[in-house]
Amino acid sequence: MPETVTGKCLCGKVSFQAQIEARHAGVCHCTMCQKWAGGITILTECQNLKVDESPELGLYRASEWGERGFCRNCGASLFWRMQDGSHANVSVTALDGIKDFTLNKEIFIDEKPEWHSFEQNTKQMTGAEVIALFTEGQAN
């Protein structure tokens, strides 16, 4: 049974809802997230992401396939999704009142700075492995 979750930005002007299959959190260490979120992003895979209409919703296309959603007012990093809608991830830390997540994945591990790391035992994937997964079956 998918669980419906809600979330919002720091100032509350951009909110969203989505469905998740499991309370699993994944860290992205990519250099784009480092710039975008001021460090890392902690994301969970979701379906049926619905972002409320807000003039403060910003969308930034940092790559040819991805799109990043944020609040223009407070700057919060809220979600990442494929431009074709095939995959979406929301920021676990933007969710309302949900604490019991398990950190079980780290992606773009090859771009992680050497001066920090998580103690959890996670599935680790390089950027090349992640990109191959997301672009599977698409002409390059």
Binding site for Zn ion (CB under 5 A): 9, 11, 13, 28, 30, 33, 71, 73-74
Closer CB to Zn ion, residue 3 or residue 86? 86
Query: Closest distance between Zn ion and the C-beta of residue 36, in Å?
Result: 7
Comparison of 33 and 125: residue with beta carbon closer to Zn ion: 33
Nearest approach, Cβ of residue 52 and Zn ion (Å): 12
Residue 114 CB coordination number (10 Å): 5
Angle at CA of residue 140, ends 41 and 67, nearest 5°: 30
What's the farthest any 2 CA atoms get from each other in the chain? 41
Q: How far is the CB of 1 from Zn ion (least distance, A)?
A: 29
* The pairing of beta strand 57-60 with beta strand 77-82: unpaired
- For Zn ion, the closer CB: 2 or 113: 113
CA nearest to 120, candidates 25, 29, 41? 25
